[in-house]
Amino acid sequence: MRIDVVTLFPEFFTSPLQTSLLGKAIANQIADVYLTNPRDFTTDKHHRVDDEPYGGGVGMLMKPDPIFAAVESLPILPKREIIYMTPQGEPMKQELFKELANYDQLVLICGSYEGVDERVCEHLVTREVSLGDFVLTCGEIPALALINGVVRLRPGTVGKEDSLKFESFEDGLLDYPQYTRPATFRDWEVPEILRSGNHKLIAEWRKEQQLVRTKERRPDLL
């Protein structure tokens, strides 16, 4: 998989793309991530990527021409999605990550300032995605979240791939509580059933806990 990130701040990704499982996945070429700065495609002497919005308003907008030029400089793989990170997009969910993990190429456009010229969304972008119902200072944060969520689903990223089957949202429920040693910590004990060795009862307890937790925390999922 090839992931292209169009960003004014490529240095934002330097450390995260070299860290933990994501860093290992990229080092092993499970996914290749390329950073493209639209400022490199400006034609004026000041290398401006933003300008005032027509009709007035507060703040500045990213100009369309550097973004188009940046995206058009990239190679085109057969199954490709051009994604603009914006609070107005569809929310990130596990099902979205599963879908995108099967693509050959993802192009992620990170907005800054007050966003991008609408012509970018109308004539270049194929999908708009949001991290949630809130506003951040830049699109780099949701872009990194999307990269992480997608790449971890690619074969070879997670050592025990079966673990991906037993996570929150995999069956429409939140995950069950989990414990490890010591069995007693500050007088708080691990539930006896988890120490019983009875796998059937443990499985039933875990499913019950998933239902209880989902009902309490995310009833909208039920």
Q: Is the pLDDT of residue 148 over 80?
A: yes
Q: State the chain's mean pLDDT as an integer.
A: 94
Q: What is the pLDDT of residues 72-129, one digit of tens each?
A: 999 999 999 999 999 999 999 999 999 999 999 999 999 999 999 999 999 999 999 9
The residues spanned by each domain of the chain are: 2-151, 166-221
Contact 115, 69 (CB under 8 A): no
Pairing status of strand 2-6 against strand 32-36: parallel
pLDDT, residue 158, reads 85
pLDDT band at residue 159 under the 50/70/90 scheme: low
Candidate from 53-67, 162-176, 184-198 with smallest mean pLDDT = 162-176
Name the phi and psi angles at 83, rounded to 5: -115, 130
- Outline where the chain has alpha helix (H): 20-27, 64-72, 94-100, 118-123, 140-151, 199-217
pLDDT, residue 166, reads 56
Q: Could you name the CATH architecture of 2-151? A: 3-Layer(aba) Sandwich (3.40)
| CATH homologous superfamily, domain 166-221 | tRNA(m1g37)methyltransferase, domain 2 (1.10.1270.20)
Beta strands in 145-205 (DSSP E): 184-185, 188-189
Query: What is the pLDDT averaged over residues 130-158?
Result: 96
Q: Is the pLDDT of residue 160 over 70?
A: no
Written as one letter, the residue type at 75 is: P
Q: Is the pLDDT of residue 7 over 80?
A: yes
Candidate from 68-72, 108-112, 168-172 with smallest mean pLDDT = 168-172
Higher pLDDT, residue 74 or 163: 74
Q: What is the DSSP string of 48-75?
A: --EEPPTT--SS-EE-HHHHHHHHHTS-
Q: Is the pLDDT of residue 215 over 70?
A: yes
Percent of the chain with pLDDT over 70: 95
Dihedral sign, CA of 198, 199, 204, 207?
positive
17: three-class secondary structure by DSSP: helix
pTM for the whole thing? 0.89
